Structures are given as C-alpha cells and as structure tokens.
Structure 1
Amino acid sequence: MKDLELWTLEGPSLLTARADSQFSIAALMPPSGSIVAARLDGRKLVEAHDAFEQFSYALTFPAYFGWNWDALSDCLRDLSWHPADHYLIIVDHTESMLAGNAEEREILLSILSRAAREWADPLGKPDGKGVPFKVLLLCDDEPTEALHAETAMR
C-alpha cells in the first residue's frame, strides 16, 4: 500500500491485506488533520448484535443508537460526536466476521461502503471537501478471492 493511497477520496474505501502485512506509519496516518480510528476483532463479530455492540463500543455511539442495521448505517454516516478530517476502521480476523451468515456480512460491507461514499461526497461538508473514510480488512491468511470480490463490488 502506497503512503497516500489510504487517504485519497478516489480508489477503494474497503481495503484488504494480510494481518502480518507491514505498513509504514506514514501509510496509516493521514498527511494532516485529525483522525478517528477504531479497531475491531472479526472473531467478536459473529452475529449481527455482536457487530452492533462492537461498533457502538469502538466508536462510542450515542445512547439513541437503535441496535439494528439501519441505525448502524445512520451512525457511521453521522459521527458528529467524533468530528475528524479522516476516519479509519480496522477489522482484524476479517475471515471470521459474520462468517456464518453471508447475507449479514454483505449488509455490513454495504453499510461500510455506503458510509465511505457519503463521507467522500463534498456536498454539505465543511469547506466543500469530502472526508476520507477507509476500512482496512485484515485477514490471517492471504485475503481470499471471495473477500476481494466482496469488497471490489463496492
């Protein structure tokens, strides 16, 4: 991964890599401004309610969070309680994330992708500039073709 590739508004917002990949600090830190980062463990994202709990905890969702997919989508596209110039979500052990439910896994990836698209859209943003929102999906082994396909569709 090139240093600035992570923080451009163009290109993929859902990125896959091996968990043992080595990244320079420059690749993970934005070139300037503030960042909100959250790290989740895919092994703790077994069921939908686990995903709601883990995202809520990692990003300190407000008390009104509704504990469903729509509410997760709404909160990820808002984050007004965490204003930042850049957002990064890292998921370790992605191959375990909702592994028993392909439909819910698809929903989660779609929600993350939609949040990234909406943050990148400059319309209604301060200074008319989009905000990078990136998701780094780390896998214990080489990311599978299926995972590449799941993220590439976004």
Structure 2
Amino acid sequence: MTSQLPAPGVPGLLDGAVRPGIYRLPLTETPARAAARAAEAGWRAARLHLDGIADKAAFLDRCAADLDFPGWFGHNWDALADCLTDLSWWRKDGEPRGYLLVAEDWDAFRKAAPEAASVAGTIFADAVDHWAGQQTPMAILLA
C-alpha cells in the first residue's frame, strides 16, 4: 500500500515530478515542514495527529477534528470515504493545486488498532485513486 517517497521527495510530489499516492514521509522531512511546503505550493494541507488513537471511534473523531470535517460527517467509514472524495468543504479559500494529508504517528495507530488502520488505509487509497483522475490530485504522507 505505501512505499518510500521517491526523489525529489516532497517538493517533487508538489510540483508533479512524483505521482500522487500514499507514501512514507522521509525521515529528513517533518510533518510541519511538509504541510508548510504544500501551502507554499498552493496545495491544501492538513495534519492528522494519531498519537494515542487506539480504535475506530477515536480515529474517526480525530479525523473530524483535525481535518475540520463538515457537520454532516457521520462518524463512520462510509462518511470518511465521502468526506475524502467530496472535498468541496475543504475548498474554503478557492481551488487548491492539490490536497495533502499528513497522517502523523501512523505506525503507532496501526499497531494499536490494526483492523481500523487497515480499513482507513483502504479508504485513503481509494480517495487518492479518486483524485488521481481529477485536475486537483491528493497525496497522503504517513509519518
């Protein structure tokens, strides 16, 4: 599902040299710096903080809070998929060049809640695939 982000890393992802997908955040990059680079490049970026998240309900609650989901988010897997494939709620400031989600502490979440992480990973992959066919791509970095 995930691979290492190939050279030229985050800048290449943001300028189109690297195909959008789900990648591991390089050790030389911080989540904050990746999000800042995305903003500088005209992408809409968000950081999903998964430290201490150990189940589906907590994961979905954190997604709602950190990603600023709309009020119609139903706190279930289908609603997560809907929010990530209909990003109209994320276009508050106009049309971005792309969408970047940085999922921090992913490995800790995956170890604490492997089934939930597996489902979330599938939903992430489906969202990235959905946006691959659009003018505004989505990429996810697992940190």
**Separation in 1 of the partners of 2:78 and 2:142?**
22
Further displaced range: 65-74 or 48-57: 48-57
Give unpaired runs (5+ residues) of structure 1: 123-128, 139-154
Larger Rg: 1
Contact kept in structure 1, 2:24 and 2:141, CA below 8 Å: yes
Matched, 1:62 2:70: yes
TM-score (norm 1): 0.70
Contact kept in structure 1, 2:38 and 2:44, CA below 8 Å: no
Report the counterpart of residue 3 of structure 2 in structure 1: none
**Separation in 2 of the partners of 1:47 and 1:13?**
25
Task: Give the structure with the higher percent helix.
Answer: 2
Matched, 1:22 2:34: no
Matched, 1:102 2:110: no
Give unpaired runs (5+ residues) of structure 2: 1-6
Indicate the SS of the match to 1:107. Answer: helix
Kindly, what percent of the aligned residue pairs are identical? 27
Contact kept in structure 1, 2:22 and 2:125, CA below 8 Å: yes
Q: Deviations over 1:86-130 (max 9, x none)?
A: 1111122221114233222111011111111111113xxxxxx2x
Matched, 1:79 2:79: no
Give the partner amino acid of 2:142.
L
Q: Deviations over 1:17-69 (max 9, x none)?
A: 35x423787x933785x322111222233211111111111221111111001
Report the counterpart of residue 52 of structure 2 in structure 1: 44
**Separation in 2 of the partners of 1:75 and 1:104?**
17
Match 1:120 to one of 120, 129, 132? 132
**Separation in 2 of the partners of 1:9 and 1:68?**
35
**Separation in 2 of the partners of 1:81 and 1:42?**
22
